[in-house]
Amino acid sequence: HRSNPGTPTSADIGTVSVWFKRGNFPSGNNLRIWNHGDGSSPNIELLIFGSSNKMLVNGNAAGGTSITTERVFRDPHAWYNAVVRIDTSQDTASNRVKLYINGELVSDIDGTPTYPSENGDIFQNTPDWRIGSWSNGTGHDWDGYISEVVYCDRQSLNPTAFGEYSDSGIWRPIDPTSNTFGDQGFYLPFTDSNYL
């Protein structure tokens, strides 16, 4: 949890990358992977629906965001990398928020997605960052592992800034410290000395 971190370099552009692995599968609860928001009104967040096991990019800032995957995430043995790339300066609505899983753009969307307004502010200066929890209660805490959390302020980055394919075609993490983090960006590796 990072409370009131300050004013970002850009409220319109940013990229978040996180590696995660599922644990238990509680019924009914939406499990927060990360959340940027204030109270019960997240500006942007990444979560897994407890009932369907699909992933959702959700938020209320700049007219709202709602992107749900057709894909389900039910493998407790697999590590996944999710990259959420935001650039609300884009003319085309679907280019303003993009979700990548293990290096691939998610194009199979469940239902009708909602995208933020053009030039809408997503990364505002007052909300908290929460990793693995929700700012409005404790019933939606993540169950599993989280690692390599990166936020690049004012950078719209491809997933290749955070991972690469091995010779056998497995998506794996790379050192993200060569990226530009901006005023409020961060890198949380969650190693033995820096863990969640």
3-state secondary structure 58-113: EECHHHCEEEEEEEECCCCCCEEEEEEEEECCCCCHHHCEEEEECCEECCCECCCC
pLDDT digits (tens, 9 = 90+) for 3-18: 566 788 899 999 999 9
Calculate the alpha carbon distances from 119 to 2, 87, 92, 130 in Å.
Answer: 25, 8, 11, 24
Tokens for 181, please give them: 């983090």
pLDDT digits (tens, 9 = 90+) for 26-46: 776 789 999 988 766 789 999
Q: What pLDDT band is residue 194 in, cutting at 50, 70 and 90?
A: very low
The answer to whether the predicted template modeling score (pTM) of the entire model surpasses 0.75 is yes
CB 108 within 8 A of CB 116: no
Angstrom distance (rounded) from CA 115 to CA 137: 26
pLDDT for position 195: 42
Find the range with the poorest average confidence among 61-65, 104-108, 121-125, 162-166: 121-125
Longest dimension (CA), the chain: 44
